[in-house]
Chains A and B, each alone.
Chain A
């Protein structure tokens, strides 16, 4: 039959590409990416160093679809405990989607369908018995776009305490100050804590969101390009904050800034079109990556 024959020929062509495409250093980097683009399964390169770390979060063969369009393909990656893990990859490759999946914010998108699982400290995140609210309380999230609430700066920062029913003024004040200092915003807003947060500049709003996230004392901090709207000085301060958190918190940070990733993260994962391509210690990824494609990306030769 005509159609069956044509299907077979397409499959064969794909296999050909795939067999060529599995590249090692020395081979042309585009091949592996072409294979990914052709929709073929490609094994991720996960360094042994990562696997030895005790994980706080285990992403296990995670697939995600927006309607019929698959946005994440069989992502399997452990996120080490109390380390900073950077997610890099070209725009639209699914970094934000992955981050939002971690605290199940994708539940809000009605077309989303998932398979696979994630485990936070061994608790299955997608277990139907998991209390989403409690889960989210264990993670703080900073979004790609600043999203302060339309209330005062103060109330924004202490929001998580408010929803937990904290009423002690002393506690609230202290948390507010500590968090704002941590987010390098305290000096700029200490005299206008009761003003609307919407009156802040875009960069200030983003730091406010960081303050809001750390005020909740999360186990895992999810940062989605927290510095994309910040000037170099504020960026430096946020990186200082990440340095400070390092060793005490597990941080998963998405960034397009390779210097930032290399400076402030312990591990780096490179994603492409919804797939994990390579994942290892930051020094390895930036100095001696296993895959050519990774090297090309982190050195800015493509992407």
Chain B
């Protein structure tokens, strides 16, 4: 081989070593896999969230199962068993009147017949069995009425106790065994269903004429029943129970009261609220009265209202689930949702109808469901409430049946009236409707037939509108954004995502407003001004702050800072203004020192600020706080924030101070400084420093004057910051969160921003300084723009942390889902809601799915934030390439 000349005497192997190749391809494979894996994992999380949340928006579905002829004439009452397999109907006409028939809903076969003689319901003229139970009230033609239990009682039936021929063959099928029924449930389980008809004792005082309407609710002591007879006389009776403290024995005493209705008023409908404190009397004409019957001995007329305005006649009144809302159907096909609410309604769909009453409530129409078809104004014939939600069924004289949701105001479903297009349809002019306990069956009974639908209502209370738009919830003053999910079963959960999204944005905004300037200024200081030796110590310290667990920060913010800040709110507010002023003042005074001192002690400037100006500023804030509180907030800032006392002046002063300061700085920088520079060319340093101190003091005075002027102006316009960015002070509030969160965000932004600023090439700094720029000018004009993409990334990473932060907001934000910019009140974020509520949400429930939707929203927000951040960063980077 030919000898080659070499520099080092060591020939180089030109072939790449197999090991190098192997590790190259391994690295490439691992990186590719990791990258794809990450993308797939993120996508999978997104898909999973969507999969869980999507069923919320799946529509309702219904199919007609059965139309079965009936021969019995009018039906007085209708109900179904718990599983929705069998139904009972109480005949109200002809020779079977007062008798109850139980039919199987699979085939329409009669399974049981209980004649009037056995039921004790002969002569009944009004029967009411509120949905979801067996509590019943029966009014009789002779004016008497009774409460009792009517319905189908289900119990678990072990299959072994029965012979095989006593078991129904298919799911939903029923067989009569020994006077009761065996129903086959899904999964080879059986239940024993028996028909119950029990009536209690007669009333202490019956009515005079036939009872035309009756209502009953179950209270702690016993049932409360209210009945009206054909002359319009009203009787309310309740059983109150008392426990003897010594013997522990319960004594029940029936109590009752007769109510003389207003002259000329004849009630056709009588309804009580579920709590038994309100009594509603409604005439066909729509004239209606609301009584307070909390004390049953002395009912008080609270207000009169119009339940059916215009020519329309009221045809049906039904109490919806939850017990405080009435659905009133009229002869023009409208259904109006009404409840008593506190205060004046605003933004509701219809004007309130009541005039306001002694109890501070007034009846309001939350919404009106228009007729099924606009041109077809036919009377509503029946309304049935669901026993478990604000869903209700409505039938009209045009033989239409609909499922509606009162809160969402939505038409949930119009179940098909024919099984096929060719069928004539059930043709039921429904007089009674029933929704089964599990909302899986809808029954309609008309003269001559029974129709049965299988229904799947989905999540009728949830729609894009209820999630995002204001909704008028029961007993609320008007439409509002609300998130409220705890409470007992009858309590209506409110799934408005807006308060949570708002809370997330509020936490992010206030935290970023607080943390970003501090972090960026600190990074500029550290990278441009701080001595390397100091920086080597301070930077790791700040970075260590980032590793503090957020639960610790939340704890600190919520339990340590919050009480302290609450106690010293005014000094804090004063300090926001005074501390910067004192620090800037100290910088100006520093320039007045003899130049020898100045240069000799240049390294001590930070120490002077930290241990001189800062404490002086704080002390000054503490001293001046009481005076400022008197002058601006009428002596007490907390009660001023509550809206008690004081004018809007103080709030405007504080709100406009930052803007005034910026304006003053801009004006001084634009006009005064250039002029000063021109005239001060030949001045000594001292004289120039004195002049600029003077300018600074004038600037401070101008700032305050400007803020005061703005405050006077806005105050005279009757504008107030209270209700805007200021308002009632709550101990855990946005300010506390901002402070707590800043401990998490500042180190993050600081570190990345400092890296970005420090990596700006040194030669740019030299060029700028060499041109005679001050370090600050260099930082602002050259370094910061050159590092803009890195600084932006830093801020966006901080933002990402703030958006998703959970523990700090959970512990320091008070978790009150409010929509208000008030710096001093609490809020709840998406993340906090998910963290607190998901563990207790039932799998598959609307709550559970809405929480997943909240997670998806959070995911989307972070995704958007990060994407926008990346796009903006790319732009910055394109500008700053090739440094």
Contact = CB atoms under 8 A, between A and B. Distances in A.
Contact of A160 (B673, B685, B772, B883): B772
B771 A136 contact: yes
B686 to A, nearest CB: 12
B674 A108 contact: no
Contacts of B674: 165-167
Greatest chain A CB density within 10 A among B761, B772, B774, B879 is at: B772
B560 interface: no
Q: How large is the interface on A (under 10, 10 to 19, 20 to 34, 35 or more residues)?
A: 35 or more
A163 B777 contact: yes
A103 B781 contact: no
B767 A143 contact: yes
B596 interface: yes
Contacts of A138: 772
Contact of A136 (B531, B764, B769, B781): B769
A159 interface: yes
Interface residues of B, number: 35
Interface in B748-778: 761-774, 777
B770 A136 contact: yes
Given A131-B685, A164-B677, A165-B673, A147 B764 contact: yes
B881 interface: yes
B763 to A, nearest CB: 4
Interface string A128-143: 1101011011111101
Contact of B880 (A140, A150, A159): A150
A110 to B, nearest CB: 5
A160 B771 contact: yes
Contacts of B685: 131
Contacts of B770: 103, 105, 136, 139-141, 143
B785 A162 contact: no
Contacts of A164: 677
A201 B673 CA distance: 37
B531 A129 contact: no
B359 interface: no
A209 interface: yes
B762 A163 contact: no
Contacts of A140: 770-771
B232 to A, nearest CB: 88
B882 interface: yes
A110 B771 contact: no
A147 B767 contact: yes
B766 A108 contact: yes
A143 B772 CA distance: 14
Contacts of A136: 769-772
Interface string A107-139: 010100000000000000000110101101111
A150 B769 contact: no
Contacts of B670: 167
- Of A137, A149, A212, most buried by chain B (CB within 10 Å of CB) is A149
A198 interface: yes
Contacts of A281: none
Interface string A149-189: 11100000001101111110000000000000000000000
Contacts, number: 94
Given A105-B766, A147-B764, A137 B883 contact: no
B673 A105 contact: no
Given A165-B677, A196-B879, A147 B771 contact: no
A273 interface: no
Interface string B124-140: 00000000000000000
A216 interface: yes
Given A149-B764, A209-B767, A129 B596 contact: yes
A115 B774 CA distance: 25
Contact of B769 (A105, A110, A209): A105
A198 B596 contact: no
A138 B782 CA distance: 20
B314 to A, nearest CB: 76
A288 interface: no
B771 A216 contact: yes
A210 B786 CA distance: 21
B785 A150 contact: yes
B600 interface: yes
A163 B669 CA distance: 12
B221 to A, nearest CB: 82
A151 B764 CA distance: 12
Contact of A128 (B600, B761, B785): B600
Nearest to B770: A141
Contact of B765 (A103, A108, A150): A108
A190 interface: no
26 contacts: A103-B770, A105-B766, A105-B770, A128-B600, A129-B596, A131-B595, A131-B685, A133-B772, A136-B770, A137-B771, A137-B772, A138-B772, A140-B771, A143-B763, A143-B770, A147-B761, A149-B768, A149-B786, A150-B786, A160-B771, A163-B771, A164-B677, A165-B673, A167-B674, A196-B879, A198-B882
By Cβ-Cβ distance, the 4 closest A-B pairs, closest first, are A137-B772, A128-B599, A147-B763, A141-B770
Given A136-B770, A147-B761, A198-B881, 9 more contacts: A110-B531, A128-B596, A133-B773, A137-B771, A137-B772, A149-B781, A159-B771, A159-B773, A160-B771
Interface of A: 100, 103, 105, 108, 110, 128-129, 131, 133-134, 136-141, 143, 145, 147-151, 159-160, 162-167, 196, 198, 209, 212-213, 216
